[in-house]
Structure 1
Amino acid sequence: MLVIVLMMALGLLVAGGVAAYVAFPHRGKALPVAPQLGTAMRRGVDSMPVLEDSESRV
């Protein structure tokens, strides 16, 4: 029973992180509650490769 509760809590934590990533740093906005976390996420966004329009059309 404890394992199920811990896995559900971990799932909620991951879902919250994804929601925060999509809502703020992915759009170029600052994370209002935890600026340090927003800065770390922004570095992750900047390091990912991006396809340009000409590259995405095959």
Structure 2
Amino acid sequence: MLAMIVMMTLGVLVAAGVAVYVAYPHRGQEMPVAPQLGNAMRKGVDALPTLEDSESRV
């Protein structure tokens, strides 16, 4: 039972993190309550590799 509660809580936290990222840093806006968290999210996503348009059309 405890494992299920922990996993559900973890799932809700991940979903909330994605929603906050999409609502503010992804659109280029500052987070009103914790701008440091938005900057950290933006730096983390900028560090990930992405496909360019020319790479995706093979």
Instruction: Measure how far apart 1:46 and its partner are.
Output: 2.8
Moved beyond 4 Å, runs of 4+: 49-58
Report the TM-score, using the length of structure 1 for normalisation. 0.76
Return the letter of the residue paired with 2:29. K
In the TM superposition, residue 14 of structure 1 has moved relative to its aligned partner by 0.3
What is the deviation of 1:11?
Answer: 0.3
Count how many residue pairs are aligned between Structure 1 and Structure 2.
Answer: 58
5+ residue gaps in structure 1? none
Quote how far apart the aligned CAs of 1:51 are: 5.0
- Give the Cα separation in 2 of the matches to 1:23 and 1:48: 19
| Secondary structure class of the residue paired with 1:29 | coil
Q: Please provide the CA RMSD for this pair.
A: 1.6
How far apart are the structure 1 equivalents of 2:28 and 2:56? 22
Amino acid corresponding to residue 2 of structure 1 in structure 2: L
**Residue 24 (structure 2) pairs with residue 24 (structure 1):** yes
Post-superposition Cα deviations, 1:28-49, rounded to whole Å, max 9, x if no partner, equal 0111111111110121233344
TM-score normalized with structure 2 length:
0.76
Gapped runs of 5+ residues in structure 2? none
